[in-house]
Amino acid sequence: MSKQEKAAARGVGTKGMPRKDRERLILEAAADEFGKKGYARGSTAEVAARAGITKPMIYEYFGSKDGLYLTCLEQAGTRLVDAVRGAQAGPSDLTRAARTLTAVFHALESRLHDWELVYDSTLPAGGGLHTAAMVHRRELNRLGAVGVAEFLHSTPATDPLDADLATHLWYGTVSAAVAWWRHHPEQTAAAMTSRFGRIVAMLGANANGDEDGDASAGADTGNTEAEV
């Protein structure tokens, strides 16, 4: 037994803990470890130390490092997809974007590693874990594309390339918001929602100014930002 494993066995300890509770501890430790370091650099020994168990117990529960990661990934991906699906209800206007981001923020609060698990760039291409991650990525992308399409259909006829660009802008907005949040982890989901709302309001104010014929404002701020 390694020093880490001995320390874990003497440390928190889980003797007598129900299997379900011990499994939850392992998964919480693993999600944090893999979320911060990625699959390639994530250590099952570190997971065991954090969970207060021995490393062999991880393999007893999950079979392998891949099995442990897959369980974390499936939980993370399901939470995100369910959150976005739940935000689909309601009018197909700009409030839908706000609803969706709000749902994503609340799903990720204290769990930013869930996003990292789904979009882990260190997963071996073509492997089972990468394939599983792509299932969730594609569903999130599909839901985003549906939302953009429904919004555009409620407006005058849209150039297909405009629709394609709008969809990519949406993907980029969500990814950028989560990336920014990683650098400001003290922000709550409510704070992120309020911040996004203020930014949208500012962009909307600029757009209204342009529509009212304020040519100088349009030249200074640009219409492309308002379209986002």
Q: What whole-number distance in Å separates Cα of residue 48 and Cα of residue 59?
A: 10
40-94: per-residue pLDDT in tens? 999 999 999 999 999 999 999 999 999 999 999 999 999 999 999 998 877 767 6
What is the value of pTM for the model shown? 0.79
Q: Which two tokens stand for residue 111?
A: 């769990």
202-214: per-residue pLDDT in tens? 876 765 665 444 4
Query: For 13-22, 107-116, 137-146, 208-217, which range has the lowest pLDDT when averaged over its residues?
Result: 208-217
Q: Which two tokens stand for residue 155?
A: 């407006």
Q: What whole-number distance in Å separates Cα of residue 49 and Cα of residue 25?
A: 11
Q: Is 163 exposed, middle or buried, given 0-12, 13-18 or 19+ CB atoms closer than 10 A? A: middle
